[in-house]
Amino acid sequence: MASLKILAVDDSPTMRRIIVNTLKRAGYDDVTEASDGKDALAKMKVEQFNFVITDWNMPEMDGLTFVSQIRSLDEFKDLPILMVTTRSVKDDIIEAMKAGVNNYIVKPFTPETLGEKIGQVLKSVGRS
């Protein structure tokens, strides 16, 4: 758990702060923040992360484009990605899964859900 280096991508500073706090509470201390997909890609070029939590609706580059872009790169094809968004329409969820997210959380989320989903994603990629 302690070795997990997480990149939290959300355009809302409030939401980023809540996610970082929730992750810390769950024992994940190493969290870097990015304000949109473009910012996240720039950070991924200089730092290595082994888990990404991303929002969908963001300016500059939205979460879906961001996920599609990182999945198109060999080095990130197995990177665990959890989408945390307000979008709860069935077609959106299907689209996100097709783009390559490993799991999906609808905002507002509970700390329990976030913890469970991180666990499920890590298990699904054989890192638990």
Q: Which residues bind other proteins (CB under 8 A)?
A: 10-15, 17-18, 21-22, 25, 56-60, 62, 85-90, 93-94, 97, 103-111, 113
* Cβ-based nearer residue to other proteins, 7 or 11: 11
* Cβ-based nearer residue to other proteins, 79 or 114: 114
Cross-strand partners of 31: 6
* Cβ-based nearer residue to other proteins, 47 or 60: 60
Across the beta sheet with 51-54, the strand order is 31-34, 6-9, 51-54, 81-85, 103-106
Minimal distance, residue 109 CB to other proteins, in Å: 7
Residue 37: both structure tokens together: 């997909």
Name the nearest CA neighbour of 83 among 62, 110, 53, 61. Answer: 53
Minimal distance, residue 44 CB to other proteins, in Å: 20
Minimal distance, residue 48 CB to other proteins, in Å: 27
* Cβ-based nearer residue to other proteins, 69 or 103: 103
| Sequence-distant (≥ 6) Cβ neighbours of residue 93 within 8 angstroms | 87, 104
Minimal distance, residue 12 CB to other proteins, in Å: 4
Contact (CB, 8 A) for 102 and 124: yes
